[in-house]
Amino acid sequence: MLQITSEQNWHCRQGALLVAKYHFAVTAFSLPSDYKLFDLTLWALEHDPVDEIISAGSQAICSFFLAANSGIAKFNVNILSQIRQETLPRIWGILQHPERLTQLREGVDSVLVDLLGLLEFWLSTDQEENLTTSQSSTQLSDSQVTLLVELLECSPQTCPTERNIKVMQCLCSIFKNDSLTITPDGNHIWTEKLLFQTLKRLYRCVIFCPPSSAEILLPSCHTTLSLLLEFFQRHMTLTSNFNNLLGNDLSLNIGLWISCLMYDHKNPEIDVFLHNVDGSDSHRDFPKELMCGEELHFLERKQIDLVILERKAMAARWLAPLVDTLFRWGCPIGQQPMFISVQLLFFPYLRSNSLYQKLGSALLAQEWSNVYQNSRHIGNFSSGNQSVSAPDILIKELYEQLSCNSNSNKLFDETTQLVSILTKECNDFKQYCLRKGVPVSELLSLNQVTSMEEAIK
């Protein structure tokens, strides 16, 4: 049935693959027909033009390796290793083939999710078996990791949640298993550009994913970042090459990313090119993209404020480990040490007359303090042989701002603007009433108000 090539009879091939799925779950691969069926399943996965067949093929192969990994069926170790080595390159071949990948992206997204699920199972199995670098059958190239990163897509219009989660699961497996990206002689595939693009794609998911997907997607973003930084920190002292990975790209853009937290809730449209958070489907003719996506338009005003506030808090929690990492290990910018530059990023926002800028900077400062304290408690608080001091410059500024704000009646831009709008509307209504014949003596007057402070009171 798998050899029926007519596209009209694709359901026959699908039925055969469903049978193969259950057969692979119990077979011990003791008969030549088992190998023939497996080869035909791989062929269908690679060459069949029907999305449903690709999905059924990936599920059948997953069934085989799940059975092998769980011990339900007993396999000869050499045979199993040979099958694994033959299968993985063919899966990568599907994902790396431009026409097939375009077909998968434009078709049913669940097919691509199935393939990524098979790949993630493979990568995690390699890690669970604690294979050494020389034994690993899944040594990855930079082009393969780049492909995974490029599949991580999120925009205000579309956010394929299941696909993004599978991609992040694959990346987590890669960061857990050093042998996937590091050769026995210590060379690695990571470049500053690849690392920065990974962070950039993750951050786009954090700030642009819709509220309906946030509960599922945002924890995966945090987990992926955490494992990435753990991977980075494990190898900083082993090779000088890793010391340059958090270089100019991240150092020069962390301030732009932080400023995404400072937008007014009434119009949280982010200029993605200005802040360097543009994606593959961003257009310079329409550079502004809505935080939390287009779903925001369907929420009530109070809900919008709450959703944006929660998203800013989640974004601050995601950015805090990066800020802390740059504070401890970042390369100097010009003549200024990075640990000073990072602290100075907060100053314009803390001293601003805008409530939203103060809010964004306060959220990030709070999350950074949590990361800092956790680092101390787990003993991960040293850079080389020297203990990293506290961000004293920032702490002093926070104390001064608290003292200043508590002892003054400082007006914020948002309050001043609101009072001005209300005053104008009140005067317009007064003129309307006069035109309708209402006596002046019966109208409320703001003429006696001499200052904005009195107007607010």
Pairwise CA distance, residues 198 & 166, whole Å: 15
Residue 275 in domain: no
Residue 382 φ/ψ, nearest 5 degrees: -125, 145
Closest CA to 191 of 273, 233, 249: 249
Find out whether 77 and 137 touch, Cβ atoms under 8 Å. Answer: no
Is the pLDDT confidence value at 135 over 50?
no
Find out whether 330 and 338 touch, Cβ atoms under 8 Å. Answer: yes
Tokens found for residue 198: 């990974």
Selected residue with higher pLDDT from 298 and 328: 298
Rounded mean pLDDT, 354-380: 85
Residue 22 in domain: yes
Provide CB contacts within 8 A for 305, sequence distance 6+: 265
Is the pLDDT confidence value at 247 over 90?
no
pLDDT of residue 287: 94
pLDDT-derived band at 361 (thresholds 50, 70, 90) equals very high
**Domain containing residue 59:** 1-107
Find out whether 231 and 325 touch, Cβ atoms under 8 Å. Answer: no
Pairwise CA distance, residues 232 & 175, whole Å: 9
pLDDT of residue 250: 87
Selected residue with higher pLDDT from 276 and 404: 276
Residue 351 in domain: no
pLDDT of residue 419: 72
| Helix 77-96 with 98-106: angle, nearest 10 deg | 80
Is the pLDDT confidence value at 104 over 80?
no
Rounded mean pLDDT, 151-172: 90
Pairwise CA distance, residues 440 & 358, whole Å: 43
**CA distances to 156, 214, 256, 290, 292 from 269, in Å:** 10, 18, 14, 4, 10
**Least confident range of 17-26, 182-191, 282-291, 338-347:** 182-191
User: Other CB atoms closer than 10 Å to residue 150's CB: what's the count?
Assistant: 13
Q: Which of 240-254, 303-317, 320-334 has the highest mean pLDDT?
A: 303-317
pLDDT of residue 219: 95
- CA dihedral (356, 362, 368, 374) positive or negative: negative
Domain end point (choices 107, 138, 162): 107
**CA distances to 23, 142, 179, 244, 341 from 187, in Å:** 42, 12, 11, 14, 31
Rounded mean pLDDT, 8-17: 82
Provide CB contacts within 8 A for 360, sequence distance 6+: 258, 259, 261, 262, 312, 316, 349
pLDDT of residue 52: 82
Residue 182 in domain: no
pLDDT digit string (tens) for 297-315?
A: 899 888 999 999 999 999 9
Rounded mean pLDDT, 374-387: 58
Q: Which of 279-283, 285-289, 380-384 has the highest mean pLDDT?
A: 285-289
pLDDT of residue 431: 82
Rounded mean pLDDT, 194-199: 92
pLDDT of residue 409: 62
Residue 324 in domain: no
**Least confident range of 71-80, 175-184, 317-326, 376-385:** 376-385
Is the pLDDT confidence value at 112 over 50?
yes
pLDDT digit string (tens) for 392-407?
A: 999 999 988 887 766 6
pLDDT-derived band at 241 (thresholds 50, 70, 90) equals low
Residue 131 in domain: no
Is the pLDDT confidence value at 446 over 60?
no
Domain end point (choices 88, 107, 126): 107
Selected residue with higher pLDDT from 252 and 410: 252
Residues paired with 289 in a beta bridge: 270
Number of domains present in the structure of the chain: 2
Rounded mean pLDDT, 349-356: 88
Is the pLDDT confidence value at 134 over 50?
no
Is the pLDDT confidence value at 110 over 80?
no
pLDDT of residue 131: 47
Selected residue with higher pLDDT from 449 and 261: 261
Is the pLDDT confidence value at 132 over 50?
no
Rounded mean pLDDT, 204-232: 93
Closest CA to 242 of 182, 173, 202, 321: 182
pLDDT of residue 259: 95
Residue 376 in domain: no
**Least confident range of 100-104, 191-195, 239-243:** 239-243
Residue 63 in domain: yes
Torsion of CA 378, 381, 386, 390, to 10 degrees: -130
Closest CA to 116 of 146, 138, 95, 86: 95
pLDDT of residue 385: 41
pLDDT-derived band at 424 (thresholds 50, 70, 90) equals confident
Query: Residue-wise over 329-348: b if at least 16 C-beta within 10 A, else e?
Result: bbeeeeeeebbebbbebbee
Q: Which of 65-79, 107-121, 272-286 has the highest mean pLDDT?
A: 272-286
pLDDT-derived band at 137 (thresholds 50, 70, 90) equals low
Domain end point (choices 46, 75, 107): 107
**Mean pLDDT of the chain, nearest integer:** 81
pLDDT of residue 457: 53
Pairwise CA distance, residues 428 & 313, whole Å: 39
**Least confident range of 15-29, 203-217, 261-275:** 15-29
3-state secondary structure labels for all residues of the chain: CCCCCCHHHHHHHHHHHHHHHHHHCCCCCCCHHHHHHHHHHHHHHHHCCCHHHHHHHHHHHHHHHHHHHHCCCCCCHHHHHHHHHHHHHHHHHHHHCHHHHHHHHHCCHHHHHHHHHHHHHHHHHHHHCCCCCCCCCCCCCHHHHHHHHHCCCCCCCCCCHHHHHHHHHHHHHHHHCHHHCECCCCCECCCHHHHHHHHHHHHHHHHHCCHHHHHHHHHHHHHHHHHHHHHHHHHHCCCHHHHHCCCHHHHHHHHHHHHHHHCCCCCCEEECCCCCCCCCCCECCECEEECCCHHHHHCCHHHHHHHHHHHHHHHHHHHHHHHHHHHHHCCCECCECHHHHHHHCCHHHHCCCCHHHHHHHHHHHHHHHHHHHHHHHCCCCEECCEECCCCHHHHHHHHHHHHHHHCCCCCCHHHHHHHHHHHHHHHHHHHHHHHCCCCHHHCCCCCCCCCHHHHHC
